[in-house]
C-alpha cells in the first residue's frame, strides 16, 4: 500500500510502501516502474519505509535503524547513516529548501531532530512540552523547521547559529 508520493524535478513519481519496505519509481515519460527493496532491519509486514523526503540532488531521506538514512535513488542503496542517541524514529522527514538541513520529530515524545547534512552534526532537542508529539512539518524561507504538534498548535525549530571557527 502506498504511504507517501513524491514528484521530483524531472517529473518522476516516487512512492513508499511502508509495510513492504519498498521505494518505487515511476517515469511517466517511459511508463516504466522500478522498485527498490530497503533493508530496514525490521520484518516485512511491519512499519519500515514511509514518510520519506527527497532533496534536489535526488537523495532520499528517511529514518531507519534508529537514525536518519540517506538513500541513493539511482540504486536504492543506503549511502549514509546518522545515528540517533535518544530517538527511535521520526514521523515526518523534511529537507530545507537549501538542501542543508533535515529535520523530524518522534510522535509520543517532545523531541525534535535537526541534522546538518553538510557536516553530519545532529541535534536532538526538547520542545519543552513532554508530549507535544511532533507530526508533519516543513521549512520556512528562513530555514527554520516548523511542526504540527498535539493540540493543533505549531512548534518552530530555529536553525542553529553557525559555529564559530
- β-sheet with 101-105: strand ranges across: 94-95, 101-105, 111-116, 122-126
Cell of 27: 517515469
Residue 73 — pLDDT band, cuts 50, 70, 90? very high
Does the pLDDT at position 10 exceed 90? yes
Per DSSP, the three-state class of 20 is: coil
Q: What's the whole-number mean pLDDT along residues 19-30?
A: 97
Neighbours of 100 (CB within 10 A): 16
Strands (E), the chain: 2-7, 13-17, 22-27, 32-37, 53-54, 59-63, 67-72, 77-83, 94-95, 101-105, 111-116, 122-126, 137-139, 145-149, 153-157
Least confident piece of the model among 50-59, 91-100, 148-157: 148-157
- 34 — pLDDT class (breaks 50, 70, 90): very high
Average pLDDT over residues 37-60: 91
| pLDDT for residue 159 | 61
pLDDT for 160 equals 61
Please tell me the predicted confidence (pLDDT) of residue 158: 61
**Structural domains of the chain sorted by starting position, each given as residue range(s) with its CATH number in brackets:** 2-157 (2.130.10.10)
Average pLDDT on 152-158 reads 73
* pLDDT at residue 162 tops 60: no
Read off the pLDDT of residues 120-140 as tens digits, 9 standing for 90 and up. 999 988 887 878 888 888 998
Cβ–Cβ contacts within 10 Å for residue 89, how many? 20
In this predicted structure, the answer to whether residue 165 has a pLDDT above a threshold of 60 is no
Sequence-ordered list of residues with C-beta below 8 angstroms from that of 105, at least 6 positions apart, any chain: 90, 91, 92, 111, 112, 113, 127, 132, 133, 134, 135, 137, 147, 149
Amino acid at each position: 500500500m502506498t504511504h507517501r508520493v513524491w514528484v521530483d524535478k524531472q517529473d518522476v513519481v516516487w512512492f513508499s510502501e511502508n509495510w513492504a519496505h519498498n521505494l518505487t519509481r515511476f517515469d511517466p515519460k517511459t511508463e516504466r516502474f522500478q522498485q527498490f527493496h530497503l533493508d530496514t532491519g525490521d520484518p516485512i509486514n511491519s512499519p519500515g519505509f514511509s514518510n520519506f523526503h527527497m532533496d534536489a540532488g535526488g537523495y532520499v531521506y528517511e529514518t531507519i535503524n534508529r537514525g536518519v538514512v540517506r538513500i541513493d535513488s539511482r540504486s536504492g542503496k543506503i549511502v549514509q547513516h546518522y545515528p540517533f542517541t535518544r530517538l527511535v524514529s521520526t514521523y515526518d522527514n523534511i529537507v530545507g529548501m537549501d538542501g542543508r538541513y533535515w529535520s523530524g520529530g518522534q510522535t509520543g515524545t517532545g523531541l525534535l531532530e535537526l541534522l546538518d547534512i553538510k557536516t553530519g552534526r545532529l541535534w536532538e532537542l526538547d520542545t519543552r512540552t513532554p508530549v507535544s508529539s511532533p507530526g508533519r512539518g516543513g521549512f520556512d524561507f528562513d530555514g527554520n523547521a516548523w511542526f504540527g504538534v498535539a493540540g493543533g498548535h505549531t512548534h518552530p525549530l530555529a536553525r542553529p547559529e553557525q559555529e564559530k571557527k
